[in-house]
Amino acid sequence: KAGVTQTPRYLIKTRGQQVTLSCSPISGHRSVSWYQQTPGQGLQFLFEYFSETQRNKGNFPGRFSGRQFSNSRSEMNVSTLELGDSALYLCASSLGAPSYNEQFFGPGTRLTVL
Amino acid sequence: GNSVTQMEGPVTLSEEAFLTINCTYTATGYPSLFWYVQYPGEGLQLLLKATKADDRGSNKGFEATYRKETTSFHLEKGSVQVSDSAVYFCALRTVAQKLVFGQGTRLTINP
């Protein structure tokens, strides 16, 4: 069974640009969560989607948004990039609601903002 | 709010040494507790978990016991290997809430 896949794996952007990251969950999984990992802040929760609906949201500005499609694939978008957005963005999928099910993480997308 | 505090790294040990990585938590309600491991260039993998007080999670020689009285979930391994070199994250989750992670502890094992 294929694991969680994230594309692209690496991305370099400049300040002010926008970026879209993609996550394909494990087949059959209906929930996707996104996390930002930085050396200074550690792992911080961005948002969680279940059956195309955002179920939970972390404390990030509105520049960070996401969505989930009917096939459970998810995208997150960051607009007007700032230097501080440089991070590893991790996606995790679970069979059902992540509060009750194990989350499986992808390898991440490393975003560098110059 | 919920929070996790784990010992700061980096931690460097010799092969076959005993490992302890401390983790304490603050939570409302009765959280489930987790240890995740992140190998270089990879995402997080669930290492072990415990869902109620006095539960012991174990996997790949690692163990951790859910201690409600001390609000702790320390990770231990009796004899570490070079392949255990990674970053370890302690985390908690309460019902209907998101995972909350500690800062991570980088472990390096020297041959």
Q: Residues B52-109: pLDDT tens digits?
A: 999 999 999 999 999 999 999 999 999 999 999 999 999 998 876 788 999 999 999 9
User: How high is the pLDDT of residue A98?
Assistant: 64
- Say whether A33 and B41 touch across the interface (CB within 8 A): no
Whether B44 and B54 have beta carbons less than 8 Å apart is answered as no
Across the interface, which of B44, B49, B96 has its CB nearest the CB of A99?
Answer: B96
Which residues of B touch chain A, with CB atoms under 8 Å apart?
A: 36, 41-46, 49, 89, 93, 95-104
Q: Residues B13-66: pLDDT tens digits?
A: 999 999 999 999 999 888 999 999 999 888 899 999 999 999 999 999 999 999
Q: Check whether the bond before A107 is cis (ω within 30° of 0).
A: no
Across the interface, which of A43, A97, A102 has its CB nearest the CB of B101?
Answer: A43
Helix/strand number for chain B, H first, E second = 0, 12
Q: Check whether the bond before B31 is cis (ω within 30° of 0).
A: no
For residue A107, the SS3 value is: coil
Cα separation, B53 vs B31, whole angstroms:
9
Tokens of residue A86, six digits: 């440089």
